[in-house]
Each structure stands twice: as structure tokens, then as C-alpha cells.
Amino acid sequence: MQNKGLVKLFAILFGIVSIYQLSFTYKASQVEKEAKTYAESRFSDDAALRSQAEVKYLDSLSNVGVYDLGVNNFTFKEVKENAMNLGLDLKGGINAIIEISVKDILKGLANNSTDPVFNKALADATELQKNSQDSYVESFFTAFDAIKGDTKLASPDIFANRDLSEEVTIDMDDNAVKRVVSTKVDEAIISAFEVLRKRIDQFGVTQPNIQRLGNSGRILIELPGVKDKKRATDLITKTAQLQFWEVYKADEIGSYLGAVTEKIIADKKAEEATEEDTITETTSDEQADDNDTESTIEDLTGQITSDSTSVEDINPLKIAGFGGGPVIAVFESKDQEEVLKKLNENRNLLPAEQRFVKFAFGKPTFNEEANAEFVELYAIKRDRNQKPELSGAVITDARQSYDQYSKPSVSMQMNAKGAKVWEAMTKTAYETQGYIAILLDDIVYSAPGVSRGPISGGNSEISGNFTLNEAIDLGNVLRAGKLPASADIVQADEVGPSLGQEAIDSGMTSFLIALGLVLIWMIFYYGKAGGFADIALLFNILLIFGVLSGLGAVLTLPGIAGIVLTIGISVDANVLIFERIREEIAKGKDIKLSVKDGFANALSSILDANITTGLTAIILFVFGTGPIKGFATTLLIGIVTSLFTAIFITRLLVDWYVNRGGKLDFSTPMTKNLFKNVNINFLKKRKVAYVISLALIAASLVSLFTNKLDQGIDFVGGRTYQVRFENPVDTEEVKSILTTTYGSAEVKTIGADNQLKISTKYKVDENSVEADEEVQTMLFESLKSFLPANMTYEQFVDGSGEAKVGKMMSGKVSPTIADDIKTSSIWAILGSLVVVFLYILFRFKRWQFSLGAVAAVFHDVLIVLGIFSLTWKFMPFSMEIDQAFIAAILTVIGYSLNDTVVVFDRIREFLNEHTNWDFGRTINASLNSTLSRTLNTSLTTLVVLLAMFLLGADSLRGFLFGLIVGVIVGTYSSMFIATPIMYDTARKGDAAESLKDKKEEELAEA
């Protein structure tokens, strides 16, 4: 091997850099253990305080040097930035895709137009999105063009409004307006991205990840290790639309409540009179109540009842009490929606000067005596344009502070323009003894009066029933700015920290066992040469982790599986080399020449095999998200490092040993003659193989059409929860209860009998935080009888207490996202097949080779799908078809092609070496000569996968089962499907001739 010195230099440098990078991971782990020990020593009995103490300890070290390397003393923040990133499935936390409402942005750009064509186009675009890969803007333009008639986008009632006057004029055609609107929408999404990035940066999560996904309006947010998931969810979904309004006083609008009450009672009586033939005579007491509604409402003043519906006949608005000043009335929180509906339905009862009033509720407060939550009602003064005099756009700074009662509040500073308007508003409020309501996302946080004259300078304060964290977050959110439109979580994965730790433990255990078995096998099969391959393999693993750490890539549970699979790839390269060296030794060559020729002859097969696997990994990286992208990343890195270590490091070690006089047989006494004189007529058996394969494919297709597949929420949408109980539970009993709760639910055992995976499509189309909370609360209430008697909802949601009982993991996918995932998955599979077809066509110059390889891949994919379809109902682990399964399918494609390409490469070589052989003999000889390599690689890969399957995380079992089936079927198809199909489709007379490399061509290329 030439340039040995350069190879040694690079190997040493790569090794040192990898160790350097990994040292940060080790140091970060060390500091985090110290923080955990400190927290446990201070708060051994309180998990919540222990968690807070741990976070505070680490925060205190953010800018403190903790890792002194002489040239630099790295702070803990710098150490964490250089350490390996762990995915959510290993560390716990939240992974969410946020969708900014482009519909809201378009409404805002159109100044909330009431134009019927515009609003119909918005509604139609929402429907189009359910089965479209276009962006919402494109769907809106399509819908508008279909119904516009004479209406133009540049209409004054749509986009040619005052706010867009500089960009859109009434003489512009629709295409020009579309370009402006598209640009404006894109700017708004970029603004939303920046707002979210600032909020997350201020939240203090270590190693967060935020990415914009194409031009769809979707933003990926990963918050690994976050403890308070509700707080984090509020942070990323809160619009933070801050507004300042004048409000009506109770005595100015309170009579409207009485008028609405009278109207509702009158309507109810009229309805009853028409429906009944006779009217039951009311008692004198009831008549008195009906005739004196206003006095009844007055009697309710100051009262708070826990069941306001008991007086609905005389109090249909369910008023629980009256306030004073800016508070019109008090209601139970559960009645908010109904009250607003009744008030807005009867707006015709309002005086003309109050017709634009907006009713808004304050922040809920809990009354322990009544055991219920209550909210105050406010009436916001609005004029015809319905815009606030002052908004959050004028805020230049916002900080958590304390109000006059020493309670957490938020102080704000306005710019010059805002300060001037604020001074005018407070002057009016002072002179009229009025109040100014401060609304955040349509919730009234406070409505203070002004008692000491106008407020100059632009200082203001929001006070309310804040916790300290809420005040801190609100200050951060206001400082970062408001989102330009509402944000919904359309896809989310939430993993508890205890489950993440279990995943690390099981993943590393299975990894080490698999690695140990492979190391032992290589020495058993190849003797001392196997030991050299083991050294190269260990160096390969060091490089993989070093590169992952250096690139800032995220290590996930599927990523660990990718690394384990890389062990198989690395072994495969060494097996190819060693088998070639054994062949050269068998020809009578001396050891040095055999090593040289063996490495040279194996290079083509190694490159082709790894390139085909790499192509499928690239496609998986492009189309995959989250953990699947992590799998593809580790696989790609592993392919590159495997090539380097197998071709160069193993060669260095072998050459060093041979040159110093050492003897290498590349076998042991037990394996020396294995596969030596094998002479199987594979082509003769191909018809039997065709029949077997056709039977398996037919059974698979029948099952796929009848039994179908167990599609996960990635493909159909819905919410899923992994729940752990103290004791084993009856799956059917839990399913029956949850079906009653949700209407439909899927319940499966995952791993142990006390762990269930629960999926439901209840409110699948609703992406709000409130809907998520409702579904989760219903789950807790339904499962109460199976949980510890004293378990609270908060403990259930956390799922990481001492008993590790409760919700361990959750996920959500909206139907729109599910449709996108399904489409991208199909394209990923088809794309990989096309790319591989073209690559093999390029390398082997005949379409028959490409056809044989792709046919074998189709064969493998159909059989894997069929086995999943046949067995998913009774397997003791989840076999859902999700993104992880697509990763398995693509990996199977890569593995199957890897085997096939090695055989094809040998066929091409034999056709050039044995020009007088019959084509059939050439193929049989090629298959027999590669049999040792094929079985050896398959065996080591299966050992690795079985170790992961038996000892790894429950959530990966379906994924690994698919890989195991794929390896077995792929090994079979490379010998009995791909090559025979290539043979049957090639013209026997000219096949050998067309595949020869003529001497003149070789010389020309040389």
C-alpha cells in the first residue's frame, strides 16, 4: 500500500480529534452527575424541588470554567455545546412541529376582509390542504381562481387595502398580487421563526433545535431534557398578541346582561308554548320569579355557587356573581363558551353606541370553598375599525418584576410613539375615572384604573394571578415579540426522562453484547487476521462517535441501531477482503502478494456495495424527520468510516504483521476448509425458488388486501400514549373503557404486561393545546382505577416518579401531516429504487442487472410487508407501520442490494477472466465463490440485530423485526431471485461478450 505514512498520520489525527470531541461528552456527563448528587442531597424527598435544584446548579455553572485543557478553560455552556447531542428518545423532552396559520396571515394581509369570495376561497383552501402537497398559499390561489368570477385579488376589499397600499394597487393583475402576497407570507413565517427562536433561547433549554421545514409554514422545534412540558408548550404556541383597551364600567353595560336574560327566558317560554298542547300552570313562586328577573339577578350579587345550573330557569346566563368597576360579572370557567355565544347572539339588544363591544374573560382563578374555577367578564370598548389604540408592537422591553403587593408581575417599557399614546389613554382614564384593560391573547390580565394622573414615559405593568415562572415566561415572550399568526402543534413527540434513561441503558447493553459477539466471531473465523479486523472495527466506532459529536449531530435510539448496523457493514468489508486473500493464497501465491491482490480485488465490490447502501441512506436522510434522520445520519457516517478503517487501517495492521515475518492464514483450523469445494447449481434450483417466492408474494398480497397493515399515527393521524402501570393490566378491559371514553381506541401491550400503547383519533382534527390537554385528562380519568390510589394528574403526566408509573411517552400527528408523511415515505421508497436502478445500470452497463436487482428489492419489500400484515395482530410487540418502519424498509433495500452487487461484481470479473466459460457456469461459479462472504456477513448482521431485538428498547422491536426479516429475505433473494432474473432476461449468446472489458479499452483507460 502506497502512502502508508500519510494514512498513519490521518489515522492518528482522526483518533486524537475524536477523543478530544468525546471528552466534552464525558465532562458534561460528569458535571450533570454532580448536579444530580447535589440535588438529591438537598431534596431527597421532593422530586419537583430536586429537579429545580438540579437545573439551578447547572445554570449557575453556565459561564463558569469547568474543563481546563491548558489552552482554554471551557465553561459548562461551552462543554455542552461541544458534547454529543442526545435525541429526545434518549434524554426525554419535546419534539414538535409547529404550523403557523397561513390562513390567519392571509386574513391579516386582507385586513380581515368580509369579501365572500375571499372567505370562500380560504374555506376551500383548507379543504384542499387535506389531500394536497401544495402550500396553503398555493391552495388559496387555486381555490380563489376557481370561484373568483369578476373579483380581483387587487380589490380594495381584499389586498388593495390601506396596509398594503405601497405594494398592491387596484390596477395590478392577479399574478402580480400573488407574488406580493407570497412574499409577505414568507416574511411572516420567517418572522415567526425568529420569534420562536428568541423565545427558546431565553427559555434556557440546553442544545435546543429549531428548523424551518421548507416553505410550508411548519417549524420543527426540539427541546431535549425539558422538565416542565406544559410550560414549554405554552412558550412555543402562545401568540403573545398584547393589546390595551378602554373598558366599559359595570354600571354602563350591566343592564345588557338583564336584557339578555329576559330575552332567553322569553324565547324559552315561547318555544315551550308552541311545542306543548297545554301549558302546565306555574306555581305562584315561579310566576313571581318570571315577573321579576332583574330582582333575581340582583339577589345573585356576591354569591358564588358550585353548581350554577341549579338556577338556570331564572339565571340562564349562569351568572355566579357580580363585580364592580371594570368587572361586569363572574362565571364558572366551564361556562365561558356558552356565555359568549349567548351574549354575541343577542347583540341587537345593545344600544347603538355599544354595538362594537367585545366581551372578554380574565384569567381563571380557583375558589377552594366552592371547589370550582371562576372567571371575570369584561366589556371592551371598540369603534368601527375594531383596532386597539395600543398594541404589543410598541413594547421595547419587558421584565419580570413585583407589583405593590409583592406578587410576580411584568413591567414593560414602550417606544416613543407608544409612550405618547399610553399617556393619552391614561389621561382619559384619569379624567373619566375609567379603566384600561390589558389583554394578552384575548385574555384580560388586569384592568387597572388611573388614580394619580396621566402616565408619561411609556412605563406600564401587567399584574395578575401569576406564578414566578409565568411572569418570567411572559416577560420573555413579550420581549421576543408576538407571532404573526396563531401556532398549532400538528405533530409532537413527548418522552419522559426515565424512559429516555431506560432507552440509553438497554441500547448500550445490546450494543456492547452485539459488539462482543462480532469481535469473538471474527477471531474464531479468521484467527489473527480477525483480531486486526476487530481493532479496525473498534477504531471505526471511535470515529463514528467522534464525528457525531464534532458535527453536532443528534444521537437517537434508531441512531444507535444505525451504529450497530454499521458494525455489520464494517465486518462485511473485512470479510470481502479476507475471503479474497484466502482465494489468492489458495492459488499458491505468497502471503505478501496475496494480501496485495486480495485488497485490490475486493475494492470494487466494497465500493459498489457501500455506495448502494449509502444512496438509500441519503434518500432516508432527505425524506426522514427526527429520529429517522438520526438513523440515516449515523448510517452515512458509519459507511464512510467503515470504508476508511477496512481499506486502510486493517491493511496497515496486516502489512505491519506480514512485513515483520508473521504468518497469517486468514482462517482457523475449524474454518479453513469451510465453503472450499462448494459447487451448488443455483440456476438449476431457480424455478423452485420462483415458485416459493411467488407463493410468498401471493400470500403477502392477499393478507395486505384482507388483513391490511397496522398503520401508526404517522400515517393516519391521531394521538398515542405509552402508559406504564404498577401491575399487569387486561388489555381488553382497558380498551373497552377507553372506547367508551373516546368512541374508539387502540390498545396494545408494548414490552412487559404492565406497559400499554394507547392510540385514539378523538378530536384528531383539533391541534390546540386545549384539545391536547382535554384528551390527556380524559385518559387519566379513564385509567384511574388501574393507577395507584393517591396518584395525581400531574404525577401521571410526568411519569418519572420513583415508581415510574404513568405516561412515559406521547405523540401526536394531525391528519394533514400524516398525509404528508405517507406521501414522502412512498416517494422515498420509489426514489431509492430509481436511484439504485440507475447506479447499477451505470456500473454494469446492462439493464438486465438493474432489473434483477430492483426485482429482488420489490420481492423483499413485499414479503416484509406481508409478514407484518400476517402477524401484527398477535405479535407481543408493536408492529405499526410508521416512519421507523419506512427506515427499516429502506435499510432492507440497501442491504439486499449490497449482497446482490457483490455477486454481480464477481460475475463481471469471471466473465473477463474465463472467456471460454458458458454464461450459466459463470453465474453458478460466482454465486458459489461469494457464498462464504454472503453467509458470513448475514450471520454477523443477524447476531447484531438479534442482540438489539432481544435486549434493546421496546419501541424499536418492530423496526428491528423488520430488519431481521429483511436480512434473511435479502440474503435469499440475492442468490435465488436477483441473479436468476438477470440470467433469464439476458440474451445468452451475447451476454458474456457485452460484459467483457476488452484489452484495448483497458489500455485506453489506463
The tens digit of pLDDT for each residue in 921-948 reads 888 999 988 888 888 888 888 888 888 7
Give the angle 766-556-612 at the CA atoms, nearest 5°: 105
Q: Which CATH architecture has domain 527-674?
A: Up-down Bundle (1.20)
Burial code of 861-878, b = ≥16 C-beta within 10 A, e = fewer?
A: bbbbbbbbbbebeebebb
3-state SS class at 217: coil
The residue among 391, 397, 406 whose CA lies nearest residue 466 is: 406
| pLDDT at 121 (0 to 100) | 92
Q: Comparing 550 with 323, which gets the higher pLDDT?
A: 550
Average pLDDT over residues 248-265: 87
**pLDDT-derived band at 347, boundaries 50, 70, 90:** confident
| pLDDT at 300 (0 to 100) | 42
Is 128's pLDDT higher than 60? yes
CA distance 547 to 294: 76
Is 833's pLDDT higher than 90? no
| Neighbouring C-beta atoms of residue 515, cutoff 10 Å | 19
CA distance 974 to 894: 12
Grid coordinates given for 695: 407463493
Q: Where are the beta strands (DSSP E) in 206-272?
A: 209-213, 218-224, 242-247
| pLDDT at 39 (0 to 100) | 83
CA distance 802 to 780: 19
Residue 172: alpha-carbon gap to chain centroid: 42
The residue among 709, 722, 780 whose CA lies nearest residue 750 is: 722
Q: Give one DSSP letter per residue of 266-316, joined into a string.
A: HHHHHHHHHH-SSPPPPPHHHHHHHHTHHHHHHHTTT---S-GGGGTTT-T
Is 335's pLDDT higher than 60? yes
Residue 844 exposed, middle or buried by CB count within 10 Å (0-12, 13-18, 19+): buried
Give the angle 205-209-211 at the CA atoms, nearest 5°: 145
| pLDDT at 555 (0 to 100) | 78
CA distance 718 to 736: 18
CB 936 within 8 A of CB 864: no
Average pLDDT over residues 211-229: 74
pLDDT in tens, 388-407: 888 877 888 888 888 877 88
CA dihedral 35, 40, 42, 44 (to 10 degrees): 160
pLDDT in tens, 441-481: 788 888 888 877 888 888 878 776 777 777 777 777 777 66
CATH for 719-764+784-812 is 3.30.70
| Neighbouring C-beta atoms of residue 73, cutoff 10 Å | 12
**pLDDT-derived band at 2, boundaries 50, 70, 90:** low
CB 996 within 8 A of CB 911: yes
Residue 621: alpha-carbon gap to chain centroid: 14
- The residue ranges of every structural domain in the chain are 4-83, 99-207, 244-275+288-482, 527-674, 683-717+814-1006, 719-764+784-812
**pLDDT-derived band at 301, boundaries 50, 70, 90:** very low
3-state SS class at 389: coil
CB 50 within 8 A of CB 574: no
Is 280's pLDDT higher than 70? no
Distances (CA, A) of 636 to 15, 664, 891, 952: 19, 32, 12, 22
Is 56's pLDDT higher than 80? no
Distance between terminal CA atoms of the chain?
19
Q: Which CATH architecture has domain 244-275+288-482?
A: 2-Layer Sandwich (3.30)
Is 350's pLDDT higher than 80? yes
Q: Give one DSSP letter per residue of 704-763, joined into a string.
A: HHHT---B-HHHH-EEEEEEE-SS---HHHHHHHHHHHHS--EEEE-SSTTEEEEEE-TT
CA distance 476 to 22: 34
| pLDDT at 874 (0 to 100) | 81
Burial code of 641-661, b = ≥16 C-beta within 10 A, e = fewer?
A: bbbbbbbbbbbbbbbebbeee
3-state SS class at 358: strand
| pLDDT at 859 (0 to 100) | 92
pLDDT in tens, 420-440: 988 888 889 888 888 988 887
Is 989's pLDDT higher than 70? no
Residue 670, CB-side half-sphere exposure with 13 Å CA sphere:
7
| pLDDT at 986 (0 to 100) | 81
Write the CB contacts of 393 (distance below 8 Å, at least 6 apart in sequence). Answer: 418, 482
CB 914 within 8 A of CB 984: no
CA dihedral 461, 467, 469, 475 (to 10 degrees): -10
CA dihedral 44, 48, 51, 54 (to 10 degrees): -60
CA dihedral 630, 636, 642, 644 (to 10 degrees): -130
Residue 262: alpha-carbon gap to chain centroid: 52
CA dihedral 947, 949, 950, 951 (to 10 degrees): 70
Is 997's pLDDT higher than 50? no
Amino acid letter, residue 589: K
Q: Enumerate helices (H) and strands (E) in the chain, giving the number of each.
A: 35, 23
Amino acid letter, residue 940: T
Name the superfamily (CATH) of residues 683-717+814-1006.
Multidrug efflux transporter AcrB transmembrane domain (1.20.1640.10)
CA distance 502 to 953: 8
| pLDDT at 458 (0 to 100) | 81
CA distance 828 to 834: 10
Share above pLDDT 90 across residues of the chain, in percent, rounded to a whole number:
10
Amino acid letter, residue 540: N
Mean pLDDT, the chain, rounded, equals 80
Grid coordinates given for 520: 469473538
Is 292's pLDDT higher than 60? no
Grid coordinates given for 674: 469451510
71-77: list long-range contacts, CB under 8 Å, 24+ apart.
Answer: 74/24, 74/27, 76/28, 76/31
CA distance 81 to 76: 9
pTM here? 0.66
Residue 471 exposed, middle or buried by CB count within 10 Å (0-12, 13-18, 19+): buried
CA distance 248 to 246: 7
Average pLDDT over residues 318-343: 86
Share above pLDDT 70 across residues of the chain, in percent, rounded to a whole number:
88
CA distance 678 to 928: 6
Is 799's pLDDT higher than 80? no
pLDDT in tens, 474-532: 777 777 666 777 777 777 777 766 666 666 777 778 778 878 888 898 899 899 999 99
- Evaluate whether 527-674 and 683-717+814-1006 have a shared fold: yes
The residue among 850, 915, 924 whose CA lies nearest residue 683 is: 924
CB 530 within 8 A of CB 524: yes
